[in-house]
Structure 1
Amino acid sequence: MDSKNVDTSVKDRRLVQKRREQMIKAGVKLFTDKGFHRTTTREIAREAGFSIGTLYEYIRSKEDVLYLVCDDIYTRVKQGLEKQIDFSGDPWSALRQAIQNYIYVIDELQDEVLVMYQETKSLSKEALPYVLNKEREMAVIFENILKRCVDLGVLHIDQEWRAFHAQQILVQCQMWTFRRWAVQTQFTLEQFATKQVHSLLQSIKPA
């Protein structure tokens, strides 16, 4: 399942994309303010700027909006994560850049990321595996960079440690969102990114 397979009666793909972007924005705001279960499709339609009838031309249920939110987050995170990284160059520099990029993308998508982790449990048995697999794909990006570091002799860690460090990177960078009530009062984004990159690289390859 992917976002293209969410049922719609509209044939114009550009219009579908536009309307769904409006629904995603509205869904994130309402799910953040009220939670998924307390939000109605009528409220989503109103916030998005169109009627409930129009809403149901593009989705089947409120869950579809949550699914679209999750799918959009992972697409944007992956694009931001890989932005301006030279994967053919120095693997250690690529790892450093990927971690920094991830922190900045997390900053841009703070509310969306919170909604995703808080409300993913509300997805159907059909949609949930797809979303969880997207999470694994992000970890694989870091695992592949770490593997290249190993292949080129920059690191000497096995596959199990590569998997561990990939997960560690994801969790530590997400701290900027999940503990923002504390972290963001103590550090600027630039300070947090600098310290987090240094800390993670030190844990992967101690000096």
Structure 2
Amino acid sequence: MVDIPTTIKNRELVERRRRQIILAGIKLFASHGFHKTTLKDLAEEAGLSYGNIYDYVGSKEDIFFLIHDFLAGSAMEILNRSIEDIQDPVEKLRRMIHSEFNLMDQWADALLLIYQESHILKGTFLKKLLEKERAHLEMFESVLNECMARGQMPPCNLRLASNLIKSMIDAWTIKRWDLRGHSTRLEAEHSIMDIISHGLLAPVKGVPASGPDTGSLMGKTALMVNAGTLLGQAVCSDLTARGVRVIAQVNRHDARLQSSTGMQTGAVCEPVLLVDDTDGLTATRIDRIENEFGPVDIYLHDLGVGTTDMPDAPVMKEAADDFGNNLRLAQDLASCFKHRMGERGLGRIVYIAPWAWDAYTDAVRFEVVKAGAVALTRSLSRQLAAASVNVNCIVPGYIRGVRPLKIEKALGRKLLEEIPSGRLGEISDVLETVLFTIRDASKYLTGQVFHVTGGQ
């Protein structure tokens, strides 16, 4: 924006007014065309007087350049933020493609305008436009070069490859007249990655074909808080099997669950990583985790106490005290991840409310914590929706263990009469719901509460 002369010395005012003019230009140029739109129209749309607009721009060509400058700056900022602290170049590429689609969703009319009317710019303006486009492509070239250096792709013409990838992404906007109604954005994103990874030819015999959501979790980092419960352990194991780097946090009392889950403090199998927690997770602790393992893409929190025994058992009486601790920790981490994921503009948060068996340990605390999980979900989802961070909640009903739980054997038959489906749930029922909420297929779903209860 500094390349356009202005008579105003207040830079902050210039930035603010030019943004108003840019937004007006995008709207009017897209609807009426560049040539039919007058400076008077633009001034009125921007909320300025006709004479006042000349304090900030000298012509419509100036405004067109400002639109491109604004979009180019936004694109570079989004791309840089999307790969911050990411080490795997393939994951960087996937995130960059995802970020490009986010930008196109937000500024589709402006991007189409740039492609259709770029001939308007001449001389210095055109040179600067092309320099910014070159810098954009160089980001893709740099990541592709990393892939080559790591042996993740064969040697190729990086300039050609980056342009081909960018052209495929841009087709979602340029060819929207032909694609809309025949493809979804998610399908387009995955198809591009599929073409890059596997090509369009039939898969080699014995090599599994990739589906619309295959690999969307590969390489991501998840933090599972309260991973010592039966559900927590199952989530960790399932995500690890899908290529997710899982960091598991357990409460200091979770040794009591050893007989039910087989999970012992300090004995989580690689590649699940155990964060031994004695003082509770803090922002400082999260800093250390992200410095070591990279940004947390998925934050999952089981707010239950994992009741598996009858409520009169000594270990279950001790577990009741963890209800309040779990809710307090969830509230503290909500502020932490609101800031981190909100800044990155990407992430998934899933709260797992206490499962139904927990009501037998402490009915009042059970209801309070369950309500707290729902309240956190609805509040945080509204605050983070604009940042493309999804926050959802899962409320498990009476779920069977892999081996029959003591409480299940004692009360299960009686409870079947109260459950409309006539059966207890499976751990897989909860896992599939977790997977749905963290995959790209649910990117427009936030603030929802999923009752995995068989209709109860």
- Common fold by TM > 0.5: yes
Q: Aligned-pair distance for 1:70?
A: 0.7
Q: Aligned-pair distance for 1:87?
A: 5.9
CA offsets 1:12-35 (integer angstroms, 9 cap, x no match): 111111110110011111111122
- Contact 2:40 2:50 survives alignment (8 Å): yes
TM (norm. structure 1) is 0.91
- Partner of residue 11 from structure 2, selected from 13, 29, 45: 13
Question: Which deviates more from structure 2 when the two are superposed, residues 15-24 or residues 73-82?
Answer: 73-82
- Contact 1:143 1:162 survives alignment (8 Å): yes
Question: Which deviates more from structure 2 when the two are superposed, residues 176-185 or residues 162-171?
Answer: 176-185
Match of 1:92 in 2: 90
Match of 1:34 in 2: 32
Provide the rounded CA distance (Å) in 2 between the counterparts of 1:181 and 1:74.
24
Match of 2:160 in 1: 164
Taking a change above 3 Å as real, the CA distance of residues 86 and 203 of structure 1, as seen in their structure-2 partners, is: farther
- Contact 1:26 1:44 survives alignment (8 Å): yes
Q: Aligned-pair distance for 1:102?
A: 1.4
The number of residue pairs the alignment matches comes to 202
Provide the rounded CA distance (Å) in 2 between the counterparts of 1:203 and 1:75.
32
Q: Aligned-pair distance for 1:97?
A: 1.5
Q: Partner amino acid for 2:129?
A: V
Match of 2:70 in 1: 72
Taking a change above 3 Å as real, the CA distance of residues 154 and 197 of structure 1, as seen in their structure-2 partners, is: closer
Provide the rounded CA distance (Å) in 2 between the counterparts of 1:43 and 1:66.
15
After superposition, the CA RMSD in angstroms is: 1.8
Structure (1/2) with the larger helix percentage: 1
- Look up the SS of the partner of 1:186 in the other structure: coil
Provide the rounded CA distance (Å) in 2 between the counterparts of 1:169 and 1:87.
23
CA offsets 1:83-118 (integer angstroms, 9 cap, x no match): 231465111211122122212212221111011111
Q: Aligned-pair distance for 1:37?
A: 1.5
Bigger Rg, structure 1 or 2: 2
- Contact 1:100 1:197 survives alignment (8 Å): no
CA offsets 1:35-82 (integer angstroms, 9 cap, x no match): 212211111101111111110000111110001001101111111222
- Contact 1:81 1:105 survives alignment (8 Å): no
- Partner of residue 127 from structure 2, selected from 109, 129, 139: 129
Match of 1:177 in 2: 173
Question: Which deviates more from structure 2 when the two are superposed, residues 187-196 or residues 121-130?
Answer: 187-196
Provide the rounded CA distance (Å) in 1 between the counterparts of 2:139 and 2:197.
16
Greater RCO (Cα-Cα under 8 Å, separation 6 or more): 1
TM (norm. structure 2) is 0.42
Instruction: Give identity over the alignment, percent.
Output: 32
> Where do 5+ consecutive residues of structure 2 fail to align?
205-456
Provide the rounded CA distance (Å) in 2 between the counterparts of 1:97 and 1:52.
43
- Contact 2:8 2:56 survives alignment (8 Å): yes
Question: Which deviates more from structure 2 when the two are superposed, residues 174-183 or residues 56-65?
Answer: 174-183
- Look up the SS of the partner of 2:51 in the other structure: helix
Provide the rounded CA distance (Å) in 2 between the counterparts of 1:61 and 1:86.
38
